Structure 1
């Protein structure tokens, strides 16, 4: 570890943060490696505990480290930015685009009747048949997300014969059934992992999740799929590109943030 330059106009906590980043890289830190404690860093760099805590807080905000109460500070598993929130892609395509490896454990593939809520989303009659595809998505050998997808049976009855452990649902819909997804609506919300979901994703019950919900349509505006995906909060982040038009007007579709309070549906445009 190198010392800090006290003659520099850069704050000490910032210099310490940058020094630690360099140290992690030089030492080849991997997820789970223990990071030196507060007192050790204070002695090594000759700074106050306030400076150390500020530097570590910045690193924690950036997702570089994680602090576990009663255990210590550890090098974190880097979160992977996903474009699923801003473009009509599937996880398979998103992972492939960044050179990752995705395998799906197909937990369920069958025909079920659509309940009234699902029927309304897919714009079909209540209790009409839909194909349900439930997959545990494993990225680079680690559980990443649990996705549950529903597709109207009449659109693609041959889905039941497909092996989705290595195939993309969107590629199958477009390549074999001529169904091209053109637009959709997706929402993101925070949630805590239930016992069953936590066991599948390899996290503790109550761990933070990012929940992605989506309804996608074809070029004719017909709903093609409805899905919900439970993403590990410690592995994923969603990235959205925003624009601001002339005079503050929206340059693209606005980002809507919905707050869930006693009156569901309070919203703000950002």
Structure 2
């Protein structure tokens, strides 16, 4: 089987310069960006084996180039499927009570979940967050959240079993935890707080989310309240190449309070 020779212009591939000090993967990444801007790949992004043949490079070189494109949010890596262009970034407002299910559906994105765990459990650390005794029974819901069929987030929520037991009968394939919590348990989450920080997923999380080794993501810890009572502790890992957090501010926004600087010891 013969491969068509690289094209010098338009949206076709250009030869890589093996005498250049620039690594082959970086040259390949740059040429793929050029081709995207020229309108290539709108129907389908080429598979790894096709790129290795077109550019006459190793699969390792192709994967490094694709990793760079994913890091910049240009390409989506789908577990068990070919990569494709990322044409619709997802945004989440900060400083508001939100349901990921409702936010995705509101942006026209099909939301679906693979339930990995739904059972009774106990966890002393989580119980502490929820102001419960260490051995208090909990309900845990662990899901892989999918947006248009692509992995977006790994989400684990814990709730006190004393009121969350009915959730064990729910089908969380295509529904909101907060909707089920309100409808089945009569508990409404009214507020809370979140902490968001960069994060390197572990091997299992990276595999679930379709991330390359040591590709960063966002880690979100959420403590949800119903009135003054803590009712939900949630740990979420969100793909950084598919998600953006957005905040609104004004000239009367409250300033961030910085921790006082430690005093220098006297000599």
Q: TM-score, normalised by structure 2?
A: 0.66
Rate the CA distance shift 1:75–1:143 in 2: closer, same or farther, 3 A: closer
Pairwise CA distance, 1:119 = 1.4
1:64/1:158 CA distance change after superposition, 3 Å: closer
Output aligned runs, 1:73-88, within 5 Å. 77-78=86-87, 80-83=89-92, 85-88=94-97
Is 1:94 the counterpart of 2:103 in the alignment?
A: yes
1:88-128: CA deviations, max 9, x gaps?
1121111011111011000000111131x211211111110
- Which residue is 2:245 aligned to? 238
The reply to whether residue 161 of structure 1 matches residue 169 of structure 2 is yes
1:53-202 to 2 correspondences below 5 Å? 63=72, 65=74, 77-78=86-87, 80-83=89-92, 85-115=94-124, 117-202=125-210
Q: Which has the higher strand share?
A: 1
The total of aligned residue pairs comes to 202
Superposed CA deviations along residues 9-61 of structure 1, whole A, max 9, x for unmatched, are: xxxxxxxxxxx99x848657368469xxxxxxxxxxxxxxxxxxxxxxxxx8x
- Give unpaired runs (5+ residues) of structure 2: 1-8, 11-32, 48-68, 76-82, 263-267
Runs of 4+ in 1 over 4 A off after TM superposition: 25-28, 30-34, 62-66, 254-258
Supply the RMSD in Å over aligned alpha carbons.
Answer: 3.3
Mapping for residues 10-49 of structure 1, pairs under 5 Å: 24=37, 29=42, 32=45
* 1:229 counterpart residue number: 236
Could you list the runs of 5+ residues in structure 1 that have no partner in the other structure? Answer: 3-19, 35-59, 67-73, 264-270
1:85, 1:239 within 8 Å by CA — same for their partners in 2? yes
Q: Distance in 2 between matches of 1:166 and 1:256?
A: 40
* Alignment map for 1:202-217 (pairs within 5 Å): 202-217=210-225
Deviation of 1:159 (Å):
0.7
Task: Give the drift of 1:226.
Answer: 0.7
Q: Could you tell me how far apart the structure 2 residues matched to 1:214 and 1:256 are?
A: 20
Aligned-partner SS, 1:198: helix
